[in-house]
Amino acid sequence: MTTITYRPTRPGVFADAEQVANGWLTQLHGALAARRVYRRTLAELRALSMRQREDIGIAGLDEKPLARAASRLA
């Protein structure tokens, strides 16, 4: 059996690019998570009846701003 070990000739050549990619991926992951929270919150608010929304103090047109605020907090 043959074993091959990868040994870069110049370690750290792509270190900066890797950090940039990791930062970009972290931002993308955060944005997708916020989007999921937004869509879930909006769906839950829309599932409430008008009476339920009035009981908790939400007007009919306040759904989207409330869902956006919830996604920023998460």
Give 45-57 pLDDT, tens digit per residue: 999 998 998 898 8
What's the mean pLDDT in 33-45?
94
Q: Angle CA(46)–CA(53)–CA(39) in degrees, nearest 5?
A: 30
For 18, residues 6+ apart whose C-beta sits below 8 A from its C-beta are none
In a 3-state reduction of DSSP, which class is residue 74?
coil
pLDDT over 70 at 8, yes or no: no
In a 3-state reduction of DSSP, which class is residue 54?
helix
